[in-house]
């Protein structure tokens, strides 16, 4: 039985723009798995379905975060819930700048920071600020599929550059992809969907290539780091910050993963102090935060995260889940790069058709996302930010489908 089926929308039946119809089809891999999970849970009960399709943190926020939210909610100082500057509260931005400065060794101040509605909001205001119609944005495959839509939202074109077999960057492929239309390069480390973390040398080489391109063409290329998983790393792996290596850098992150508050929609954008035309860029980011409809990041949660910039969830929980799954998947025979961070595996599908393989797993009530949803056919993504019983219950399905492929 085919469980994943991309529906072609009937234009006469769907009173929405054709471009949105097309995007709904392209975006439907994770959406379809989510809907399939709901259907299967209704049919078999929640305990009988092993949904590894979504990156929705299962751990609770740290106690300090709970306390900070309660404290912010109890603060009855007049005016705290009114509009503030579109970039966010000055004291919150100063706290963020102080923490980020200590992390990356670059002196940042409040006026280098814009508080935003999650990393997604940050990516959109960054691309809205930078892109002219037809400008190109480079992303490395496999990649978070929303990048395609973020670029398209603002008139840009996403150029996909393949990575190496182990998902490290292919610098020769990058050089070939750079053109005078290239406006930005997106990096995501720790990576969704692979869990790969780029080392210092990767960022050094990447910065050198972009500087050389700028010298050769006279065109500035901005390096955008989408970094919501920066604190979720294992085995002592370092997560270098791009600001240490490249002056025309824009750093985007959120507290969805490190504080386990994705529903609160809070993050920030930071611009390198030596970035070309920085003041104008900051003005553009602030303006776009307003005109894209965000206006400003939510007031209460801004104040709550001000004093918990150094806090994170218990990473040991994720590492334990990773270790268990890696041991079981490799025992069964799956080929997979061991994740260094985030909370995903991206194994090779044992069959060429990753959608067919995902369908067979779904028949065993194990839900994963086909790799083509991340620009990498022949793989599949599974998330381990789920309860232990879901991970443990999935193993029999993984083994049976692998042995019968």
The CATH number of whichever domain residue 394 belongs to comes to 3.90.1150.10
Query: Of all residues in the chain, what percent carry a pLDDT higher than 90?
Result: 87
Instruction: Among 248, 274, 305, identify where a domain stops.
Output: 305
Q: What is the pTM of this model?
A: 0.94
Confidence of residue 268 (pLDDT cuts 50, 70, 90): very high
Cα-based distances in Å from 367 to 25, 350, 382 = 19, 16, 8
Asked whether residue 4 carries a pLDDT value surpassing 60, the answer given is: no
Domain span holding position 239: 63-305
What the block records as the tokens of 8 is 């072609």
Give the pLDDT band (50/70/90) at residue 37: confident
> Would residue 5 count as lying in a domain?
no
Asked if 158 and 137 touch (Cβ cutoff 8 Å), the reply is: yes
* pLDDT computed for residue 295 by the predictor: 97
In the sheet with 380-383, reading across from the earlier edge strand, the strands are 344-345, 380-383, 369-370
How high does pLDDT run on average in the chain? 94
Q: Where are the beta strands (DSSP E) in 6-67?
A: 50-51
342 and 217 fall within a common domain: no
As a whole number, mean pLDDT of residues 81-90 equals 96
Please, is 224 exposed, middle or buried when counting C-beta atoms within 10 Å of its C-beta (0-12, 13-18, 19+)? buried
In a domain, 10, yes or no: no
Same domain, 348 and 248: no
**Residue 123 in contact with residue 226, Cβ under 8 Å?**
yes
* In-domain check, residue 9: no
- Co-location of 54 and 68 in the same domain: no
Shared domain for 144 and 289, answered yes or no, is: yes
Beta strand 380-383 with 369-370: parallel, antiparallel or unpaired? antiparallel
**pLDDT above 80 for 29:** no
Residues 40 and 160 in one domain: no
Instruction: Of 40-49, 71-80, 168-177, 321-330, give the lowest mean pLDDT range.
Output: 40-49
Q: 3-state DSSP helix/strand/coil percent for the chain, to nearest 5?
A: 45, 15, 40
Q: Is 103 in the same domain as 37?
A: no
In a domain, 56, yes or no: yes
Are the C-beta atoms of 346 and 378 separated by less than 8 Å? Answer: no
The answer to whether 138 and 132 are in contact (CB under 8 A) is no
* Number of domains present in the structure of the chain: 2
**How many CA atoms are closer than 13 Å to the CA of 308, on its beta-carbon side?**
27
Name the domain boundary from 305, 336, 360: 305
How much is the average pLDDT of 165-181?
Answer: 98
């Amino acid at each position: 039985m085919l469980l994943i089926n991309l529906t072609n929308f009937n234009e006469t039946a769907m009173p929405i723009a054709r471009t949105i119809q097309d995007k709904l089809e392209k975006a439907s891999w994770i959406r379809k798995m989510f809907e399939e999970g709901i259907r299967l849970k209704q049919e078999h009960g929640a305990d009988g379905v092993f949904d590894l399709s979504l990156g929705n943190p299962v751990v609770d926020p740290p106690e300090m975060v709970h306390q900070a939210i309660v404290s912010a909610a109890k603060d009855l100082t007049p005016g705290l819930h009114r509009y503030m500057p579109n970039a966010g509260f000055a004291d919150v931005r100063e706290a963020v700048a102080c923490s980020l400065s200590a992390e990356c060794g670059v002196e940042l101040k409040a006026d280098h920071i814009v508080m935003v509605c999650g990393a997604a909001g940050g990516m959109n205001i960054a691309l809205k600020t930078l892109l002219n119609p037809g400008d190109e944005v480079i992303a490395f495959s496999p990649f978070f599929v929303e990048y395609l839509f973020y670029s398209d939202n603002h008139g840009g074109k996403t150029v996909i550059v393949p990575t190496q077999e182990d998902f490290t960057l292919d610098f020769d492929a990058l050089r070939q992809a750079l053109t005078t239309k290239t406006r930005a390069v997106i990096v995501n480390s720790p990576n969704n969907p692979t869990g790969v973390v780029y080392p210092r040398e990767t960022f050094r080489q990447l910065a050198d290539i972009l500087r050389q391109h700028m010298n050769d063409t006279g065109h500035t290329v901005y390096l955008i780091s989408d970094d919501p998983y920066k604190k979720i790393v294992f085995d002592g792996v370092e997560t270098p910050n791009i600001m240490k290596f490249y002056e025309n850098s824009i750093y985007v992150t959120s507290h969805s993963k490190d504080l386990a508050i994705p529903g609160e929609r809070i993050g920030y954008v930071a611009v390198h102090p030596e970035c070309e035309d920085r003041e104008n860029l900051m003005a553009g980011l602030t303006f776009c935060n307003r005109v894209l409809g965000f206006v400003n990041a939510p007031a209460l949660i801004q104040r709550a995260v001000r004093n918990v910039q150094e806090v994170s969830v218990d990473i040991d929980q994720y590492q334990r889940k990773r270790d268990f799954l890696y041991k079981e998947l490799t025992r069964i025979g799956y080929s997979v790069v061991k994740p260094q961070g985030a909370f995903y595996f991206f194994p090779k599908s044992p069959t060429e058709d990753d959608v067919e393989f995902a369908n067979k797993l779904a028949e065993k009530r194990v839900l994963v996302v086909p790799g083509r949803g991340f620009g990498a056919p022949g793989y599949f993504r599974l998330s381990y930010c789920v309860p232990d019983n879901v991970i443990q219950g999935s193993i029999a399905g993984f083994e049976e489908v692998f042995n019968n492929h």
